[in-house]
Structure 1
Amino acid sequence: MAFANLLEHVGGMGRFQVASVLLLALPVLMMASHNLLQNSPPATNDHRGPKTDPCRDGWTYDRSVFTSTIITEWDLVCSSRGLKQLAQSLYMAGVLVGGIVFGGLSDRFGRRSLLIWCYLQMGTMGTCSSFSPTFTVYCLFRFLTGMAFSGVVLNSVSLSLEWMPTRTRALVGTFMGYCYTTGQFLLAGIAYAIPDWRWLQLTVSLPFFCFFLYSWWLTESARWLVMVGKSHQELKELQKVARINGKKEEGDKLDLEALKSYMQKEMASSRSRHTVVDLVRTPVVRRISCCLCFLWFSTSFAYYGLAMDLQNFDFNIYVIQLIFGAVDIPAKLVSILTITFVGRRFTQSVALILAGVAILANILVPRDMRMLRTALAVFGKGCLAASFNCVFLYTGELYPTVIRQTGMGLANTMSRLGSIMAPLVKMAGEVFPVLPFIIYGAAPVVSGLVATFLPETRDTALPETVEEVEGRERGQRTAQERHKSSTD
């Protein structure tokens, strides 16, 4: 509770926190544009030939809606049609590598520094993608864009959570999730207005140069600063926060001695070096890591499995994309209520199980019942959106500050493995059409059951050290044993 008390001393949820969340949320609006860019309408075209076999006799493209796409640019049809899925998998591979690289680096060099770099990389590589001369070069730049995507997501989440009081973490996490949802609407609108894929790619990339410029104002996480032994810098940042929050006098009263009195345990822990091994070294953190791997993989796997199937629902692609984005609004509203008043574990488990059941149920619905099929898919997608909303917050609360970004990097890695596998599993549908959906549905059901083994974090302060996480588990077990003894 030490840092939580210190944060209240300099203003709690004040003007500084509001400004930081808004600045971190603006780039999230554009994240969906990159993540779902290849599934957006300008990435797809129908092709047809003058005879019964267009792949043998030649083809023409339907350019009535989309003037130019990556398919028309490099003829990704017939024997080359799998290259479109390959390009998406390579992008997701970049997101995976970015999670591994930037997760560890941000625990070592700081959240703010890595975030600034990733904004620049996102803008530069996205812009380069729009000028790609060949499909191979396009895939390379998309891979590097995916790496930057991970860095932005990981550090935005941690930087916002680590400056938030306990009571507002769930609200802030959900607000960031709604920004991503709004970004899906934004992508549909931009794609409708700009049917040429190169101009679309450029349009969604240029804003990141603006984000890079203003990101220098962002403040480094004080939690991270104390854990790496930079107490002098932490004191300056806290005094800056106090000044912005209208608590200048309280900030001026702070000195290194007062800081040490607040955070003795955390400063002692800062003398220890932490690595990825700490994610599995102790029993409670090891169980948390294993369970979160299941959760992140399945949520992402099923989410992208549904998202990449939009073109098979026999609806206008713009309309279905808007519907798939709109369902996030009620889904995340319900999730924030259950997260706040019931708990993280319940929300996570129920959201995944319901998503899996909806996907599996769709297998039994005839293809001509398109309204029912679409409704089940939309419901499943909404449940997965609720799962994402919860798991981002849950992961940040389960891991201690000393390895939070490393843990988020592991979670992101498993998420990207899921998103890489999703298009590859979809290709198995050419052999057995329902097989991908059996797999897409079974994975979240199993993970929903796994989520019940995680500890609850509702109304608890963010842990700072590995020892604190282990101690909480022992304390809860002891309390349960005492309660049981008193009732016997």
Structure 2
Amino acid sequence: MTFVELLARLGGMGRFQVTYVAALAIPLLMLASHNLLQNFTAGVPEHHCRPQPTANDSAGDVPLLVSIPSDGHHRPQRCRRYVEPQWHLLEVNGTVNGTANGAATEPCRDGWTYHDGVFAHTIVTEWDLVCESKRLRQVAQSIYMAGILLGSGLFGVLSDKYGRRALLTWCYLQLGATGAGTAAAPTFVVYCLCRFLTGLAMAGVSLNSASLCMEWIPTEARAVVGTVNGYCYTLGQFVLAAVAFGLPHWRWLQLVVSLPFFLFFLYSWLFVESARWQVISGRPDLALKGLRKVARVNGRKEEGDKLSEEIPLLGAKSTFGGFSTSFAYYGLAMDLQGFGVDIYLSQLVFGAVDIPAKLASVLAISCVGRRVAQGGSLALAGICILANIVVPMELQPLRMAFAVIGKGSLAASFNCAYIFSGELFPTVIRQTGMGLGGTMARVGGMVAPLVRMAADVTPVLPLVIYGAAPIISAIATCFLPETRNAPLPETVRDVERR
């Protein structure tokens, strides 16, 4: 008897599976909040140098016009000020009188003045991550992604050795604790350290949630369950926009999106460990106990009582694509300020496009297969990103439209990869294999913020890089095996036989 046949005998997609999937899906709401959090906690407000105090006046009494040079749009420059106030720019009545061309300027030696508005309290305003230090904002996000990178490899191996449930429980606790620690960080260095540890736990939550779902549900339900989990991530983007709008102070926002993980930690003790993993790990007695519990919850107690340890034993007899999807996805999603549209509206639009995109992906996955769905979504994303190279900056609505379609295509690709990767690897190394794919995805997520710095060389260079990567991955996807309607492989030999 195969494990698929065994699950069908114990109720298939019964009450246990539905409850289990729901309990695993709820924490996914908050994963999006952490991944995209720096759009709000690291927002950059309008700012300029603090004017230099004069002998008889405080800095606040010096008119801005005579202290700060203007940029090409007649706004105060952000990172330079006059060495000496240019009083000749004003007449007695305060009107403009000429310019200060050729006047000496200097960096902001006395700090910055930040304008009140959407981003009045962020890590940028708290630690002055502007001008010479502006790159630290992107570095902080890359450090967080580096944590997810390390966690993808580390927790993948540990989960194959010690089990899915135990590692998931630990990661819930770590994510809640380090997320709350980030909110209390006294310095930027401590902030980055806590974000790194949060990213480490994030990877463990994502990997183990995926495996537990995959290993407890029947074959015909995998695409639907994977899409439901994807929609939870989408809904989490709406939650983030709403919470960020209500809590503009970055510390409170950070704390509120972290505290729910303590609740997830408490109820995770009720989870049942994967019977597939227990059998492969030589623990058939524990697998049998778990299977009988599933049978009771599904109303098949008599079937569960008939099981013996021999029955489950009989049933036990893509990485570059992940890199490109994550790389391009975070390249778009982490630059909401760059589209010239209200950031809260942008967050809602970028989240809303996932709804039709993931619906389309589940239809494609079920009808034409995993390989076509994955490759097609990657190719469309790359084309949309590259299209923005030829769209003038003045046509912001059109640029936004291409970006939204590209982001939706990448969300569909994530949905495909979530299902496809779990089906490619056998149970004995499923977490290790998915961890490797996750590692490559996090390399992409870590590098994505840094690629934005290439805009200093030429503005279109980041788009060229973001667009080329998914197209190359789409070509590579053509060489992967199709797994639609195939049972999950349990051993490496099963994969070779397939």
Same fold, judged at TM 0.5 (above) = yes
Whether 1:5 and 2:5 are equivalent positions in the alignment is yes
Q: Residues of 2 paired with 1:35 and 1:122: CA distance?
A: 12
1:170 corresponds, among 203, 219, 223, to 223
Q: Is the 8 A contact 2:41 2:123 kept in 1?
A: no
* AA aligned opposite 1:223: R
Q: Residues of 2 paired with 1:228 and 1:41: CA distance?
A: 43
Q: Residues of 1 paired with 2:477 and 2:312: CA distance?
A: 37
* AA aligned opposite 1:48: H
Name the structure 1 match of 2:409: 383
Whether 1:339 and 2:334 are equivalent positions in the alignment is no
Q: Is the 8 A contact 1:170 1:339 kept in 2?
A: yes
Whether 1:113 and 2:166 are equivalent positions in the alignment is yes
Q: Percent identity?
A: 61
Structure 2 unpaired stretches of 5+: 50-63, 70-76, 82-107
Whether 1:129 and 2:182 are equivalent positions in the alignment is yes
Name the structure 2 match of 1:86: 139
Name the structure 1 match of 2:122: 69
The normalised TM-score by structure 2 is: 0.88
- Is 313-322 or 32-41 further displaced after alignment? 32-41
Q: Residues of 1 paired with 2:204 and 2:494: CA distance?
A: 27
Q: Residues of 1 paired with 2:220 and 2:131: CA distance?
A: 55
Q: Is the 8 A contact 2:375 2:474 kept in 1?
A: yes
Name the structure 2 match of 1:48: 48
1:319-369, Cα deviation, whole Å (9 max, x unpaired): 111100000000000000010111000000000000000000110000011
Counterparts of 1:72-471 in structure 2, within 5 Å, are 72-260=125-313, 262-263=314-315, 266=316, 292-471=318-497
Q: Is the 8 A contact 2:40 2:122 kept in 1?
A: no
CA RMSD after TM alignment: 1.1
Q: Residues of 2 paired with 1:257 and 1:54: CA distance?
A: 72
Name the structure 2 match of 1:21: 21
Q: Is the 8 A contact 1:359 1:440 kept in 2?
A: yes
Q: Secondary structure at the match of 1:60?
A: strand
1:457-486, Cα deviation, whole Å (9 max, x unpaired): 1111101111111111xxxxxxxxxxxxxx
Q: Residues of 2 paired with 1:259 and 1:30: CA distance?
A: 35
Q: Is the 8 A contact 1:42 1:191 kept in 2?
A: no
Name the structure 1 match of 2:53: none
* AA aligned opposite 2:288: L
Name the structure 2 match of 1:282: none
Return the offset for 1:259.
Answer: 3.5
Q: Residues of 2 paired with 1:445 and 1:207: CA distance?
A: 38
Q: Residues of 2 paired with 1:374 and 1:393: CA distance?
A: 29
Name the structure 2 match of 1:485: none
Return the offset for 1:66.
Answer: 2.9
Q: Is the 8 A contact 2:48 2:114 kept in 1?
A: yes
Q: Is the 8 A contact 2:45 2:117 kept in 1?
A: no
1:412-438, Cα deviation, whole Å (9 max, x unpaired): 110011011111111011111111110
Structure 1 unpaired stretches of 5+: 268-291, 473-488
Return the offset for 1:48.
Answer: 2.6
Q: Is the 8 A contact 2:374 2:417 kept in 1?
A: yes
Return the offset for 1:377.
Answer: 0.4
* AA aligned opposite 2:179: G
Q: Secondary structure at the match of 1:48?
A: strand
Return the offset for 1:103.
Answer: 0.5
Q: Is the 8 A contact 2:42 2:137 kept in 1?
A: no
The normalised TM-score by structure 1 is: 0.90
Return the offset for 1:60.
Answer: 1.4
* AA aligned opposite 1:12: G
Which structure has the highest helix share of the two? 1
Q: Size of the alignment, in residue pairs?
A: 445
| Structure with greater Cα Rg | 2
Name the structure 1 match of 2:60: none
Return the offset for 1:42.
Answer: 5.9
Runs of 4+ in 1 over 6 A off after TM superposition: none
Q: Is the 8 A contact 1:43 1:197 kept in 2?
A: no
Q: Is the 8 A contact 1:41 1:318 kept in 2?
A: no
Q: Secondary structure at the match of 1:437?
A: helix
Q: Is the 8 A contact 1:42 1:195 kept in 2?
A: no
Return the offset for 1:47.
Answer: 1.5
